[in-house]
Amino acid sequence: MTRPFDICIRGAGIVGRTLALHLAGKQLRVALVAPGTPQPAEALAADVRAYALSLPSRQLLEAVRCWPDAPHATPVLSMQVHSDDGGQVAFDAAHTHTEALNWIVDVPALEARLADAVRFQPLIEVFDAPKPAALTVVCEGKASQSRQEWGVEWDVTPYGQSALAARVLCEQPHAQVARQWFDKGEILAFLPLGGESGNLCALVWSVSPERALALQAATDADFCQALELASHGVLGSCTLTSARKVWPLQQALARRWSGVALQGAWVLAGDAAHTVHPLAGQGLNMGLADVAELVAVITNRPYWRSVGDARVLRQYERARKAEFAVMGQANDVLQQLFTNRHPVVQAMRTWGMNRFEASGPIKQWVARRAMGATGKPTTDKN
């Protein structure tokens, strides 16, 4: 007789597949729901997403042998932050005694590694519809249908900005430096890709919705000219190598992250539970931290408790909501601070950045906190 599923995971993105692999490594039987047909190769190639992943996120992925190879996971050795009117902050991996501040990971490469690992894990079965299980984990993203079906309230704070993402080939090598500019209410980030000696960058440009659409519709030449102006020509001329993707920016939080429905116990993870502004690069790191916490509470539960036990799930919810309260609030404050164009606020911001740059131990503590160097382990290797 076939053993019933312990866990059903709705959503087969990075968070869902990583969770499935870790749970299967704990000898739990997992149903992974991935609606629709697999994406064709050309669709994957058109994916312009890249994420800045922290050391704990890397360790979590390495534990299931899914960390991408070197050309698709570029170590960031330093980060340079500039604001209008001369504010500057720089972070350096050497000063924090770490291998890298973070790694810029190519999303299609990471998703391909995860998909291969899932395919060869016998305790994971992939379906196009949910299956009965002791626990359902919702990893469907911010537009989660399951969350809506279960009546979970979704508190949204729109930022009145849109993000434009693309990839550009720069005249000068990126030298493993992540660069960010806050200027006139806009936020532009250049993230190094293509390995240690590459000159390919992923860009995320947070601007007004109207400007985002105008930049998306502009000719390649006009777009690159605007980009070179916004980046002060630091990497020379730019050549667009991808499509330009645009989406609205918001911070959002589900009021409940766990509960019981007709189908049984459920819990939210990843963007189905929370979203943040991309300015600090913490979105996927927070989703993978959800994975680490959920795996830990399930693994360490008393043997007589089910994986769908309400007390176990509330433990996960409390821990992750507490972390979001810190990270989400900090992200929101930064967004409000750096998009405010009032002259007094701009002057205070520049003064504050320069004082922070000279703060020594305080700056290093903040850098290590942002890198995820909190001393808390993610999960043990399987």
Give the model confidence (pLDDT) of 77-130 as tens digits. Answer: 988 888 766 667 777 777 767 788 889 999 999 999 999 999 999 999 999 999
Residue 382 has pLDDT above 50, yes or no: no
DSSP state string for 125-137: EEESS---EEEEE
Average pLDDT over residues 173-181: 91
Residue 113 — φ and ψ, nearest 5°? -65, -45
Residue 241 has pLDDT above 90, yes or no: yes
Pairing type for strands 73-76 and 154-170 reads unpaired
DSSP state string for 229-298: HHTTTTT--EEE-S--EEEEEEEEEES-SEEEETTEEEEE-GGGTEE--GGGS-HHHHHHHHHHHHHHHH
pLDDT, tens only, 268-294 = 999 999 988 765 557 799 999 999 999
In a domain, 243, yes or no: no
- Give the strand order in the sheet containing 264-268: 124-127, 30-33, 5-10, 133-138, 264-268, 258-261
Residue that wins the pLDDT comparison between 335 and 207: 207
CA 220 – CA 84 distance, rounded (Å):
26
In a domain, 28, yes or no: yes
Q: What pTM was computed for the model?
A: 0.86
In a domain, 46, yes or no: yes
In a domain, 191, yes or no: no
Residues 6 or more apart in contact with residue 191 via CB below 8 angstroms: 50, 52, 76, 104, 178, 201, 202, 203, 204
Measured in Å, how far apart are the chain's first and last C-alpha atoms? Answer: 27
In a domain, 216, yes or no: no
Residue that wins the pLDDT comparison between 323 and 291: 291
| pLDDT at position 86 | 66
Q: Provide the 10 A C-beta neighbour count for residue 237.
A: 14
CA 31 – CA 297 distance, rounded (Å):
19
| pLDDT at position 351 | 46
- Looking up residue 19, the CATH number of its domain turns out to be 3.50.50.60
For the chain, the domain total comes to 1
- Residue ranges of E strands in 43-183: 50-53, 73-76, 78-83, 88-92, 102-106, 124-127, 133-138, 154-170, 177-183
CA 316 – CA 190 distance, rounded (Å):
34
Average pLDDT over residues 239-253: 91
Residue 341 is part of which domain span?
A: 5-157+249-370
Which of these, 170, 179, 178, 165, lies nearest to 242 by C-alpha position? 165
Long-range CB pairs of 332-336 (<8 Å, 24+ gap) are 332/157, 332/251, 332/276, 332/277, 334/277, 334/279, 334/280, 335/159, 335/251, 335/277, 335/279
List 170's β-bridge partners, or say none: 238
Residues 6 or more apart in contact with residue 306 via CB below 8 angstroms: 134, 135, 265, 312
Residue 338 has pLDDT above 60, yes or no: no
Q: What is the mean pLDDT of the chain?
A: 83
In a domain, 232, yes or no: no
Residue 27 has pLDDT above 60, yes or no: yes
Residue 166 — φ and ψ, nearest 5°? -165, 180
In a domain, 318, yes or no: yes
In a domain, 190, yes or no: no
CA 27 – CA 283 distance, rounded (Å):
29
Q: Which of 11-20, 41-50, 317-326, 343-352 has the lowest mean pLDDT?
A: 343-352
